[in-house]
Structure 1
Amino acid sequence: MNTRHSITTLAVAAAMALALTAPLVAAEPDDHFIIRDCEQSREDLATAIREYAENEEDWIFLAEFDLAVGDITALKVCYLPLGPDILDAGLHVGAMMPCGHIGLYEEDGGTKLSMLHPKFMTTLQPHPSLERAAQRAEPAYEALLDHVLGGP
């Protein structure tokens, strides 16, 4: 292994370790996030989200893991019908495949759910097909949230 590769590897590992152990810093959410107050525990919400994604034909459940020394339960679910619109913007946007990144955490004595709003894609890569994907994703993710949170 060359020295440059070793230094790069160490720098990436140090940055990841810092991100995983850094103290939580409060920041105001913007319109790229959907934030909901929840009555359920993190564990119950994670179970409900996983079951929804596993039982709905157009969804898949990819991951559940803890972040910030267990302060956040992170989940990743994907709404598959968005794939063609996303890839129409180019293969380089494949990292944004039609997935929702959800964080569950406690704040002020209650459970919170935070999710990237689908329109984040259009901020990162302006493209008409991503605009279409974001418009199609919003009602699908709202249906998921209504289901797991007991909404309308």
Structure 2
Amino acid sequence: MTELTSFDKALLNQLQGNLPVCSRPFAALAEKLGTEEQVVIERLNHLKKEGYLRRIGTFFNSNQLGYKGTLVALRVDPSCMESVAEAINRYPGATHNYEREGRYNLWFTLLTPGMDREQRILSEVRALPGVHGMLNLKANKKYKINVQFKLA
């Protein structure tokens, strides 16, 4: 992994909350950073290739759009961890899939447009080879934080 340049850090800082909503957002971002649109695009491609950047996207208010979310904890046989994680990742509403230490060792969030779809997906996940337990941890109240990393 290559070292981040000062330009890379400034670019990543801008991306975390200041990506303009317009027809050419990278050109607008380039103007803010005192460079050309092509330079921004090239650096973003480099940062993605190097693993500093996973995706560029927006956050939607899932409740407003009619989606409900849940946090799911699975007890997975370690020999099946990768295949279970890959199966979960194929569901469009599955996010934040990560391995943890402890009895329940694979956690993910799931957003679905209705309880029927949620229950169907969770039934399918529960039936995956290597899954030995599941906790469906519905939120009582949503506390949203805006995490941004100030790169200096």
The question of a shared fold, defined as TM-score above 0.5 by the shorter chain, is answered with: no
TM-score tier (shorter): 0.3 to 0.5
The structure whose Rg is larger is: 2
